[in-house]
Structure formats: C-alpha cells, structure tokens
C-alpha cells in the first residue's frame, strides 16, 4: 500500500487467468469443514486473499474474524496474502472464492472475459493521488512539469497524469518518469524522486506521523471519472452461480465487520494490530481514525456500488486506449449480496454495546 505500483502486477497476469479459468477449481481448503457454530453446525472453511500486505483497507475482514461474525454465518474464514500470480488470478481461477482487488483490475479483466465480479466497494471514494514533499513545490498538476515521478510501469499512470495536467494547462511530456522498483515512497523521495502515486490513508498518514508534510493532489478532484472504487471485494461468476448462499453469508459477515470498524475505529485498530502484530500500532491507529468514516462516506450503506461509477471509469479507460473494447458495466459488479443497511447497523450496534460493558 506504500505506492500504487503494487496493484498492477495482476494486470500482467490476466492472460494467464484466461488459460486457467476454464479448468480452475476451488481449493480443498475452501470445501472442508472445520469447527462448529455454537449450536453444533459444522463451519465451512473459506479463504479470502488480500491484494497486498495487511493494512487498514482490510480491517473489516479481521474484525469479522475476531468478533465471530464469520462463525455466526457458518464460516471459518482464513485471510491469506496473494501468491506470485496475484489475488485476481487466484479468485478468477476458483483457487479461492473471495479476494481484494480494484475497479481498475476488474475492468481490465472483464473486457478480457475474465469472470471477476465486484461484490462491494471497501472505500466509497478514491483516496489515492499524487503526493510530493512540500519542499518540491507541487501545488497543482501543472507544477508536475520538470519534476521526477516515481513510477511502477503501468500505462494508466501517464494517462491519469495527462488527464489531470490537461485541466491545469500542464504538459505530461515534461514529467520525468523513473521506475522506482521495490522502493517505498519515503525511500524514493529521499533518492530524488519528487512525487509518487499513493493512498493517503496509509502512506499519507505515515508521512504525518513522520513529520514530513505532503502536498496531495487527489485524482478524483480533477475528474469525476477518476473517482472509482479502490479497493473492492471480488468473487468470480462461478461462485455466484454455484454457491450463492456462501457469497451471501460471507458478505453479510464482512459488512458487519466494516460497520463495526466505522462505529469503533479505535477498537477495530486494536483488532488489526492483534491479528498482524508486525504492523506499526501508531500508524494503524492513526490510519484507522482517518479511514473509518470514509469506508461508507455518503453512501446509503457500506459497500454500495453505482453503475455510473463503473461505466464512467471504463469509458475514460476506453477513450485513453487502455481498454480494447467498452465494458458492460452491469456485469462487473453486483450489490445483490450486501445485507440491508438497517440489519447491519442493528447487529453491530448490539455487539458494540456488549463489548463496551
């Protein structure tokens, strides 16, 4: 989550997904039963694969696991990190039923007939943007001219930069892109990079804690089509067709986890820290405080997705020649497996009252 370059590896492997999707089967780990509910019913083992290392984008999953929401839904959920093929490949092939992805990746996958489907928007609005130390003087997109950009090597980077620089009379050809490899944001800027594309909720908050203030240009502020969902929770079409009860149960419990994190950011942070003790507790606490109100934001409920958001970003990608053909946005996502907003709020309020005593 240090820079957005981490999420593009999945796009490189989409051609591989096309080969393995037809023959891929869900792993035995997600078919077995381990443990039981309080009434003795066996739990179904299920895996969910992260997009990257654990962070506050994922807190709701860890809350649902720790608070017993998955168990109440009849599930024994194991949260895993992606293998070399990436989360999208694992989910699209049926190796695991659920994963964390991004609207960008799902859009690319859908136009290549890869059967990924987004089940929920983890964060309602795009919290990513171009960040620079304040001493670099990048106060507007035009100020990127003559500066060095820490790139990860995706065509979408220059397209987004061009889109926002065009609004300010800037010339993207005057930006020097430098591949920063495995370097994180802070290492890159110390080696001379002027700006990079980050998620503010993690790297931006870390900069605050380090006392290294940033100028942040959120991409959504320059085009409504760039206010896309990132990240999202995904499954594949076969999972929805063959086991809709599992999808419903998983999403019901996960929604409760995120609702709890929205209502209880400090306690939710403690749960993430307990589950992943290698994380910096101060960073997790500060990040969670910043991100919790942004999970749902102005949506009627957590996770809700709009077809206009999917269509708008896909149309932008197509016009930028980042897609070979237009996207059928209606098939890229579904809200059908989200629980009702009232039910989720009631359940988490009850839990919150109990744990507070």
Statement: the pTM of the whole predicted model exceeds 0.85: yes
**Fold entry, domain 128-226:** D-Maltodextrin-Binding Protein; domain 2 (3.40.190)
Tens-digit pLDDT string for the chain (357 aa) = 555 544 444 444 444 444 444 444 444 344 444 566 565 679 999 999 999 899 999 999 999 999 999 999 999 999 999 988 899 999 999 999 999 999 999 999 999 999 999 999 999 999 999 999 999 999 999 999 999 999 988 889 999 999 999 999 999 999 999 999 878 999 999 999 999 999 999 999 999 999 999 999 999 999 999 999 999 999 999 999 999 999 999 999 999 999 999 999 999 999 999 999 999 999 999 999 999 999 999 999 999 999 999 999 999 999 999 999 999 999 999 999 999 855 554 455 444 443 333
Region(s) of the chain under CATH 3.40.190.10: 4-125+229-356, 128-226
Measured CA to CA, the distance from residue 287 to residue 270 in angstroms comes to 12
Nearest one of 144, 148, 178, 146 to 161, comparing CA atoms: 144
Residue 82's SS3 state is coil
Measured CA to CA, the distance from residue 71 to residue 39 in angstroms comes to 11
**Fold entry, domain 4-125+229-356:** D-Maltodextrin-Binding Protein; domain 2 (3.40.190)
158, with CB counted inside 10 A (0-12, 13-18, 19+), is middle
Residue 303's SS3 state is strand
Measured CA to CA, the distance from residue 155 to residue 95 in angstroms comes to 29
């Amino acid at each position: 989550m240090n820079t957005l370059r981490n999420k593009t590896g999945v796009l490189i492997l989409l051609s591989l997904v096309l080969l393995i999707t037809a023959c891929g089967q869900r792993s035995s780990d997600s078919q077995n039963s381990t443990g039981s509910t309080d009434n003795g019913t066996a739990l179904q083992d299920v895996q969910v694969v992260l997009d990257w290392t654990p962070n506050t984008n994922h807190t709701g999953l860890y809350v649902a696991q720790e608070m017993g929401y998955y168990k109440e839904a009849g599930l024994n959920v194991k949260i895993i990190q992606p293998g070399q093929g990436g989360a999208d490949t694992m989910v699209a092939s049926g190796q695991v039923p659920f994963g964390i992805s991004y609207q960008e990746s799902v859009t690319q996958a859908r136009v290549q007939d890869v059967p990924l489907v987004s089940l929920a928007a983890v964060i309602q609005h795009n919290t990513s943007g171009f960040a620079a130390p304040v001493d670099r003087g990048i106060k507007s997109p035009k100020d990127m001219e003559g500066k060095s950009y820490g790139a990860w090597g995706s065509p979408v980077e220059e397209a987004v930069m061009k889109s926002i620089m065009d609004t300010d009379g800037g010339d993207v050809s005057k930006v020097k892109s430098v591949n920063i490899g495995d370097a994180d944001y802070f290492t890159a800027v110390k080696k001379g990079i002027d700006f990079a594309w980050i998620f503010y909720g993690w790297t931006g908050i870390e900069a605050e804690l380090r006392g290294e203030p940033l100028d942040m240009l959120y991409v959504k502020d320059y085009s409504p089509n760039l206010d896309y969902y990132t990240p999202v929770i995904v499954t594949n079409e076969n999972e929805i067709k063959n086991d809709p009860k599992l999808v419903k149960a998983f999403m019901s419990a996960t929604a409760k986890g995120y609702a709890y994190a929205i209502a209880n950011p400090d306690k939710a942070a403690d749960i993430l820290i307990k589950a992943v003790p290698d994380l910096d507790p101060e960073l997790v606490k500060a990040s969670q405080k910043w991100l919790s109100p942004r999970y749902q934001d102005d949506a009627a409920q957590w996770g809700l997705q709009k077809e206009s958001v999917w269509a708008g970003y896909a149309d932008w990608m197509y016009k930028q020649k980042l897609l070979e053909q237009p996207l059928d946005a209606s098939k890229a996502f579904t809200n059908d497996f989200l629980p009702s907003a009232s039910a989720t709020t009631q359940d988490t309020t009850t839990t919150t009252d109990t744990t507070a005593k």
